[in-house]
Amino acid sequence: MKIEKNIHLAYCTNVHRGSTWEETFYALEKYVLEVKKIVCPEKPFAIGLRLGAQAATSLSHPSTLLLFQKWLEEKNCYVFTINGFPYGNFHGERVKEQVYRPDWSTSDRLEYTVLLFEILEKLLQPGEEGSVSTLPGSFKEFHSAGEIPKLVFQNLYTCAREIERIKKAKDLDLHLGLEPEPLGSFETTEETISFFEDLEKFDHNPSIKQTIGVNYDCCHLAVEFEDAGKGLTQLQNANIRLSKLHLSSALRALPTEENLKLLESFVEEVYLHQVVIGKNGKIINRYRDLDQALEEKNITGNEIGDEWRIHFHVPLHASPEGELKDTKNHVLSTIEWLSKNDQACRHLEMETYTWEVLPKELQSIDVVEQVAKEYEWTLKILGAKGLANK
What is the pLDDT at residue 297?
82
Q: Is the pLDDT at 41 greater than 70, yes or no?
A: yes
Longest dimension (CA), the chain: 63
Say what percent of the chain tops pLDDT 90.
Answer: 90
- Please give the average per-residue pLDDT across 296-312, as a whole number: 87
- Mean pLDDT of the chain, nearest integer: 95
What is the sign of the dihedral through the CA atoms of 258, 260, 263 and 267?
negative
CB neighbours of residue 257 within 10 Å: 8
- The answer to whether the Cα torsion of 151, 205, 342, 231 is positive or negative is positive
Q: Which percentage of the chain shows pLDDT scores above 70? A: 99
Per-residue buried b or exposed e for 204-236, using 16+ beta carbons within 10 Å of the residue's own CB: eeeebbebbbbbbbbbbbbbbbbbbbebbbbbe
Distances (CA, A) of 221 to 70, 112, 234, 341, 357: 38, 26, 13, 19, 22
Pairing label, strands 77-83, 45-50: parallel
What domains can you pick out in the chain, each with its CATH number? 4-249+325-384 (3.20.20.150)
Which residues, in sequence order, are CB contacts of 94 under 8 Å at separation 6+?
269, 270
Q: How many C-beta atoms lie closer than 10 Å to residue 253's C-beta?
A: 22
Neighbours of 376 (CB within 10 A): 14
Task: Label the pairing between strands 275-279 and 282-287.
Answer: antiparallel
Task: Compute the distance between CA of residue 330 and CA of residue 99 in angstroms, rounded to an integer.
Answer: 25
The span from the first CA to the last CA of the chain, in angstroms, equals 14
Q: Structure pTM?
A: 0.97
| Spatial distance between the Cα atoms of 390 and 388, rounded to a whole number of angstroms | 6
Is the pLDDT assigned to residue 320 strictly greater than 90?
Answer: no
Question: Which residue type does 286 have?
Answer: R
Check pLDDT > 80 for residue 321: no
Predicted confidence at residue 301, as pLDDT, reads 64
